Amino acid sequence: MSKQKLALVAIVGVLALLVTSFAPAFLAAPQQAEASSHREAPLISQDPVADATDLYAFVSPDRPDTVSLITNWIPYQGTGGPNFFRFGDDVLYETHIDNVGDAQEHIVFQFTFKTLIVNPNTFLFTTGPVGMPSDTQLNVRQYMTVTRVDAPADGSCKNMPLSNCATATRNVLGKDIAVAPSNVGPASMPIYAATAAVSVADLGNGMLAFAGQRADSFFADIGSLFDLLTIRNPGVNNFAGYNVNTISMQVPIRMLTKDGSTPKDAAGAASVLGIWTTSSRRATTVLSAGATSSSGEWVQIERL
Protein backbone atom coordinates (compact mmCIF):
# COMPACT_ATOMS: atom_id res chain seq x y z
CA MET A 1 0.00 0.00 0.00
CA SER A 2 1.35 3.44 -0.90
CA LYS A 3 2.16 6.09 1.70
CA GLN A 4 -0.67 8.21 0.31
CA LYS A 5 -3.20 5.44 0.91
CA LEU A 6 -1.83 4.78 4.39
CA ALA A 7 -2.18 8.47 5.19
CA LEU A 8 -5.78 8.40 3.95
CA VAL A 9 -6.54 5.45 6.25
CA ALA A 10 -5.03 7.30 9.21
CA ILE A 11 -7.03 10.46 8.52
CA VAL A 12 -10.27 8.52 8.13
CA GLY A 13 -9.58 6.74 11.44
CA VAL A 14 -8.98 10.01 13.29
CA LEU A 15 -12.10 11.60 11.83
CA ALA A 16 -14.19 8.60 12.88
CA LEU A 17 -12.95 8.96 16.45
CA LEU A 18 -13.71 12.69 16.49
CA VAL A 19 -17.20 12.23 15.11
CA THR A 20 -17.93 9.48 17.60
CA SER A 21 -16.66 11.41 20.58
CA PHE A 22 -18.41 14.71 20.10
CA ALA A 23 -22.18 14.77 19.89
CA PRO A 24 -24.16 17.60 18.30
CA ALA A 25 -24.37 21.17 19.48
CA PHE A 26 -27.99 22.10 20.05
CA LEU A 27 -28.81 24.62 17.36
CA ALA A 28 -31.96 25.63 15.55
CA ALA A 29 -30.80 23.57 12.58
CA PRO A 30 -30.37 19.90 13.47
CA GLN A 31 -26.74 18.88 14.03
CA GLN A 32 -25.70 15.26 14.22
CA ALA A 33 -22.93 12.87 15.03
CA GLU A 34 -22.62 9.44 13.53
CA ALA A 35 -20.11 6.63 13.49
CA SER A 36 -19.95 3.16 12.07
CA SER A 37 -17.88 0.06 12.63
CA HIS A 38 -20.13 -2.69 11.31
CA ARG A 39 -18.34 -6.06 11.33
CA GLU A 40 -14.99 -4.51 12.08
CA ALA A 41 -13.04 -6.55 14.64
CA PRO A 42 -12.09 -10.24 14.39
CA LEU A 43 -13.31 -11.26 17.85
CA ILE A 44 -16.63 -9.39 17.91
CA SER A 45 -17.38 -10.54 14.35
CA GLN A 46 -17.88 -13.99 15.86
CA ASP A 47 -20.44 -12.59 18.33
CA PRO A 48 -22.96 -10.72 16.16
CA VAL A 49 -25.68 -10.22 18.81
CA ALA A 50 -23.21 -8.04 20.75
CA ASP A 51 -21.73 -6.32 17.68
CA ALA A 52 -22.64 -2.64 17.33
CA THR A 53 -22.74 -1.59 13.69
CA ASP A 54 -23.74 2.08 14.00
CA LEU A 55 -24.27 4.92 16.45
CA TYR A 56 -26.32 7.99 15.55
CA ALA A 57 -27.13 11.04 17.68
CA PHE A 58 -28.99 14.10 16.40
CA VAL A 59 -31.57 16.72 17.25
CA SER A 60 -34.88 15.13 16.23
CA PRO A 61 -36.28 16.80 13.09
CA ASP A 62 -39.86 16.00 14.13
CA ARG A 63 -39.36 17.04 17.78
CA PRO A 64 -36.52 19.60 17.95
CA ASP A 65 -36.66 19.77 21.74
CA THR A 66 -35.47 16.14 21.85
CA VAL A 67 -32.36 14.18 20.87
CA SER A 68 -32.63 10.93 18.91
CA LEU A 69 -30.21 8.25 20.11
CA ILE A 70 -29.96 5.27 17.77
CA THR A 71 -27.74 2.19 17.96
CA ASN A 72 -27.73 -0.67 15.47
CA TRP A 73 -26.63 -4.24 16.13
CA ILE A 74 -26.16 -7.63 14.41
CA PRO A 75 -24.71 -6.76 10.99
CA TYR A 76 -25.49 -8.17 7.55
CA GLN A 77 -28.87 -9.67 8.32
CA GLY A 78 -30.26 -11.41 5.28
CA THR A 79 -33.75 -12.78 4.77
CA GLY A 80 -35.15 -16.25 5.08
CA GLY A 81 -36.10 -18.70 7.80
CA PRO A 82 -36.58 -20.71 9.77
CA ASN A 83 -34.55 -18.72 12.31
CA PHE A 84 -34.77 -14.94 12.49
CA PHE A 85 -32.57 -12.41 14.23
CA ARG A 86 -33.09 -11.23 17.79
CA PHE A 87 -31.23 -9.39 20.54
CA GLY A 88 -29.12 -11.33 23.02
CA ASP A 89 -30.91 -12.17 26.25
CA ASP A 90 -27.55 -12.25 28.05
CA VAL A 91 -26.27 -8.94 26.63
CA LEU A 92 -26.49 -5.54 28.33
CA TYR A 93 -26.84 -2.89 25.61
CA GLU A 94 -26.01 0.65 26.75
CA THR A 95 -25.95 4.21 25.44
CA HIS A 96 -23.63 6.42 27.49
CA ILE A 97 -23.82 10.20 27.95
CA ASP A 98 -21.04 12.52 29.12
CA ASN A 99 -22.62 15.94 29.72
CA VAL A 100 -19.66 17.41 31.64
CA GLY A 101 -16.75 16.88 29.26
CA ASP A 102 -14.59 14.75 31.54
CA ALA A 103 -14.75 11.52 29.48
CA GLN A 104 -16.85 9.91 32.21
CA GLU A 105 -20.37 8.54 31.83
CA HIS A 106 -22.90 10.59 33.79
CA ILE A 107 -26.09 9.17 32.28
CA VAL A 108 -26.54 5.67 30.87
CA PHE A 109 -29.57 4.19 29.15
CA GLN A 110 -29.58 0.41 29.55
CA PHE A 111 -31.52 -2.00 27.35
CA THR A 112 -32.04 -5.64 28.29
CA PHE A 113 -34.10 -8.29 26.51
CA LYS A 114 -35.88 -11.53 27.22
CA THR A 115 -37.27 -14.05 24.75
CA LEU A 116 -40.56 -15.91 25.01
CA ILE A 117 -41.35 -19.00 22.94
CA VAL A 118 -45.14 -19.33 22.95
CA ASN A 119 -45.20 -22.90 21.64
CA PRO A 120 -41.95 -24.76 22.37
CA ASN A 121 -43.15 -27.73 20.32
CA THR A 122 -42.50 -25.95 17.03
CA PHE A 123 -39.44 -24.20 15.62
CA LEU A 124 -41.55 -21.83 13.51
CA PHE A 125 -41.22 -18.08 14.07
CA THR A 126 -44.89 -17.59 13.12
CA THR A 127 -47.70 -20.14 13.02
CA GLY A 128 -50.16 -17.94 11.12
CA PRO A 129 -50.76 -14.34 9.99
CA VAL A 130 -49.59 -11.80 12.59
CA GLY A 131 -51.24 -8.41 12.97
CA MET A 132 -50.06 -7.31 16.41
CA PRO A 133 -46.98 -8.41 18.39
CA SER A 134 -49.34 -9.86 21.00
CA ASP A 135 -51.03 -12.24 18.53
CA THR A 136 -50.67 -15.89 19.49
CA GLN A 137 -49.50 -16.68 15.95
CA LEU A 138 -46.22 -14.86 16.74
CA ASN A 139 -44.40 -17.77 18.30
CA VAL A 140 -41.01 -16.18 18.98
CA ARG A 141 -41.20 -12.78 20.65
CA GLN A 142 -38.91 -10.51 22.62
CA TYR A 143 -39.49 -7.90 25.30
CA MET A 144 -37.27 -4.95 26.23
CA THR A 145 -36.67 -3.21 29.55
CA VAL A 146 -35.25 0.34 29.50
CA THR A 147 -33.42 1.68 32.55
CA ARG A 148 -31.79 5.06 33.14
CA VAL A 149 -28.71 5.09 35.38
CA ASP A 150 -27.30 8.34 36.79
CA ALA A 151 -23.91 8.89 38.37
CA PRO A 152 -24.04 10.05 42.02
CA ALA A 153 -23.00 13.63 42.76
CA ASP A 154 -20.39 12.49 45.30
CA GLY A 155 -18.16 11.04 42.58
CA SER A 156 -18.22 7.53 44.05
CA CYS A 157 -18.72 6.00 40.57
CA LYS A 158 -15.79 7.82 38.96
CA ASN A 159 -13.53 5.71 36.74
CA MET A 160 -15.86 2.72 36.82
CA PRO A 161 -18.86 1.62 34.75
CA LEU A 162 -22.16 2.85 36.18
CA SER A 163 -23.53 -0.63 35.50
CA ASN A 164 -21.26 -1.95 38.27
CA CYS A 165 -21.55 1.00 40.68
CA ALA A 166 -23.74 0.34 43.72
CA THR A 167 -24.28 4.04 44.47
CA ALA A 168 -25.59 4.93 40.99
CA THR A 169 -29.27 5.86 40.77
CA ARG A 170 -31.38 3.47 38.72
CA ASN A 171 -34.81 4.23 37.29
CA VAL A 172 -36.74 1.72 35.17
CA LEU A 173 -38.37 3.77 32.39
CA GLY A 174 -40.20 0.94 30.67
CA LYS A 175 -40.57 -2.79 31.20
CA ASP A 176 -41.67 -5.64 28.93
CA ILE A 177 -41.89 -3.43 25.85
CA ALA A 178 -42.72 -5.60 22.83
CA VAL A 179 -39.87 -5.72 20.33
CA ALA A 180 -40.95 -5.35 16.70
CA PRO A 181 -40.73 -8.83 15.12
CA SER A 182 -38.73 -9.58 12.01
CA ASN A 183 -40.65 -9.19 8.76
CA VAL A 184 -41.05 -12.85 7.82
CA GLY A 185 -43.02 -12.08 4.66
CA PRO A 186 -46.39 -10.88 3.35
CA ALA A 187 -48.27 -14.03 4.34
CA SER A 188 -47.00 -14.04 7.92
CA MET A 189 -46.87 -10.23 8.31
CA PRO A 190 -49.61 -8.80 6.05
CA ILE A 191 -49.58 -5.36 7.76
CA TYR A 192 -45.96 -5.28 8.88
CA ALA A 193 -45.61 -1.47 9.06
CA ALA A 194 -48.53 -1.31 11.49
CA THR A 195 -47.23 -4.35 13.38
CA ALA A 196 -43.86 -2.71 13.94
CA ALA A 197 -45.35 0.70 14.79
CA VAL A 198 -47.06 -0.78 17.84
CA SER A 199 -43.61 -1.31 19.35
CA VAL A 200 -42.95 2.44 19.67
CA ALA A 201 -43.31 2.83 23.44
CA ASP A 202 -44.18 6.04 25.28
CA LEU A 203 -41.96 6.08 28.37
CA GLY A 204 -43.48 9.28 29.73
CA ASN A 205 -41.97 12.75 30.18
CA GLY A 206 -41.52 13.10 26.43
CA MET A 207 -39.43 9.94 25.99
CA LEU A 208 -40.07 7.36 23.27
CA ALA A 209 -38.32 4.03 22.69
CA PHE A 210 -38.29 1.38 19.98
CA ALA A 211 -36.44 -1.86 19.32
CA GLY A 212 -36.69 -4.10 16.30
CA GLN A 213 -35.31 -5.02 12.91
CA ARG A 214 -34.78 -2.19 10.42
CA ALA A 215 -33.12 -1.77 7.04
CA ASP A 216 -29.41 -0.92 7.35
CA SER A 217 -29.23 2.82 6.66
CA PHE A 218 -25.44 3.06 6.32
CA PHE A 219 -23.75 3.41 2.92
CA ALA A 220 -20.25 2.07 2.30
CA ASP A 221 -18.41 0.38 -0.53
CA ILE A 222 -16.85 -2.22 1.75
CA GLY A 223 -15.97 -4.54 -1.11
CA SER A 224 -13.53 -2.10 -2.69
CA LEU A 225 -12.46 -0.39 0.56
CA PHE A 226 -10.85 -3.56 1.89
CA ASP A 227 -9.57 -4.66 -1.50
CA LEU A 228 -6.37 -2.64 -1.01
CA LEU A 229 -8.36 0.60 -1.00
CA THR A 230 -9.40 0.18 -4.61
CA ILE A 231 -12.09 2.85 -4.38
CA ARG A 232 -14.77 2.52 -7.05
CA ASN A 233 -16.44 5.49 -8.68
CA PRO A 234 -19.37 5.31 -8.42
CA GLY A 235 -19.30 3.26 -5.25
CA VAL A 236 -21.45 0.23 -4.56
CA ASN A 237 -23.44 0.12 -1.31
CA ASN A 238 -22.57 -3.27 0.14
CA PHE A 239 -25.15 -2.83 2.93
CA ALA A 240 -28.09 -2.49 0.55
CA GLY A 241 -30.63 -5.24 1.08
CA TYR A 242 -29.36 -6.07 4.59
CA ASN A 243 -31.00 -5.40 7.94
CA VAL A 244 -29.83 -4.60 11.45
CA ASN A 245 -31.46 -4.68 14.87
CA THR A 246 -32.15 -1.15 16.06
CA ILE A 247 -32.51 0.33 19.55
CA SER A 248 -33.70 3.93 19.43
CA MET A 249 -34.86 6.59 21.87
CA GLN A 250 -36.06 10.15 21.73
CA VAL A 251 -35.14 12.02 24.90
CA PRO A 252 -35.88 15.68 25.77
CA ILE A 253 -32.65 17.68 25.59
CA ARG A 254 -33.22 19.09 29.07
CA MET A 255 -33.00 15.56 30.49
CA LEU A 256 -29.48 15.15 29.14
CA THR A 257 -27.76 18.50 29.70
CA LYS A 258 -25.87 19.00 32.94
CA ASP A 259 -27.94 22.03 34.00
CA GLY A 260 -31.34 20.74 32.84
CA SER A 261 -31.66 23.41 30.14
CA THR A 262 -32.31 23.32 26.39
CA PRO A 263 -29.33 25.36 25.14
CA LYS A 264 -29.64 27.73 22.21
CA ASP A 265 -25.99 28.79 22.08
CA ALA A 266 -23.71 26.19 20.51
CA ALA A 267 -20.75 27.67 22.38
CA GLY A 268 -22.46 27.31 25.74
CA ALA A 269 -21.03 25.03 28.41
CA ALA A 270 -24.10 22.77 28.34
CA SER A 271 -24.39 22.54 24.55
CA VAL A 272 -22.20 19.50 23.86
CA LEU A 273 -22.71 15.85 24.75
CA GLY A 274 -20.31 12.97 24.41
CA ILE A 275 -22.14 9.80 23.36
CA TRP A 276 -20.98 6.21 22.90
CA THR A 277 -22.50 2.75 23.00
CA THR A 278 -21.34 -0.55 24.49
CA SER A 279 -22.40 -4.13 24.95
CA SER A 280 -21.49 -6.18 28.01
CA ARG A 281 -21.96 -9.61 29.55
CA ARG A 282 -21.68 -10.90 33.09
CA ALA A 283 -18.20 -11.94 34.16
CA THR A 284 -19.17 -15.56 34.82
CA THR A 285 -21.37 -17.82 32.72
CA VAL A 286 -22.23 -21.35 33.82
CA LEU A 287 -23.49 -23.89 31.27
CA SER A 288 -25.53 -26.86 32.44
CA ALA A 289 -27.89 -29.30 30.78
CA GLY A 290 -30.69 -27.24 29.27
CA ALA A 291 -29.83 -24.04 31.17
CA THR A 292 -27.40 -21.14 31.28
CA SER A 293 -26.81 -18.84 34.24
CA SER A 294 -24.67 -15.71 34.57
CA SER A 295 -23.34 -13.79 37.53
CA GLY A 296 -20.75 -11.22 38.55
CA GLU A 297 -20.00 -7.74 37.28
CA TRP A 298 -20.74 -6.57 33.78
CA VAL A 299 -17.73 -6.84 31.45
CA GLN A 300 -17.61 -4.67 28.33
CA ILE A 301 -17.09 -6.64 25.13
CA GLU A 302 -17.86 -4.00 22.47
CA ARG A 303 -17.62 -0.21 22.30
CA LEU A 304 -18.49 2.21 19.52
pTM confidence score: 0.87
> Which band of pLDDT confidence, cut at 50, 70 and 90, is reported for residue 18?
very low
For residues 274, 248, 160 and 271, what is the CA-based torsion angle, rounded to 10 degrees?
20
pLDDT at 31: 56
Encoded amino acid at 149, one letter: V
> Tens digit of pLDDT for each residue in 164-200?
999 999 999 999 999 999 999 999 999 999 999 999 9
Q: What is the percentage of the chain residues whose pLDDT exceeds 90?
A: 68
Q: Does residue 2 register a pLDDT over 50? A: no
Q: Does residue 7 register a pLDDT over 60? A: no
Taking residue 86's Cβ as centre, other Cβ atoms within 10 Å add up to 21
pLDDT at 27: 36
Give the span between the Cα atoms of 118 and 130, in whole angstroms: 14
Task: Give the mean pLDDT of 15-29.
Answer: 35
> Which band of pLDDT confidence, cut at 50, 70 and 90, is reported for residue 91?
very high
Task: Give the mean pLDDT of 60-89.
Answer: 93
Give the span between the Cα atoms of 169 and 149, in whole angstroms: 5
Of 7-11, 33-37, 60-64, 210-214, least confident by mean pLDDT is 7-11
Of 72-81, 132-141, 163-172, least confident by mean pLDDT is 72-81
Please give, one letter per residue, the 3-state secondary structure of 85-96.
CCCCCCCEEEEE
Give the span between the Cα atoms of 42 and 127, in whole angstroms: 37
Q: Does residue 5 register a pLDDT over 50? A: no
pLDDT at 8: 34
Q: Which string of DSSP letters, residue by residue, matches 189-233?
A: -TTHHHHHHTT-EEEETTEEEEEEEEE------HHHHTTTT---S
Q: Does residue 223 register a pLDDT over 90? A: no
Task: Give the mean pLDDT of 58-70.
Answer: 96
User: Which residues, in sequence order, are CB contacts of 155 under 8 Å at separation 6+?
Assistant: none
pLDDT at 20: 32
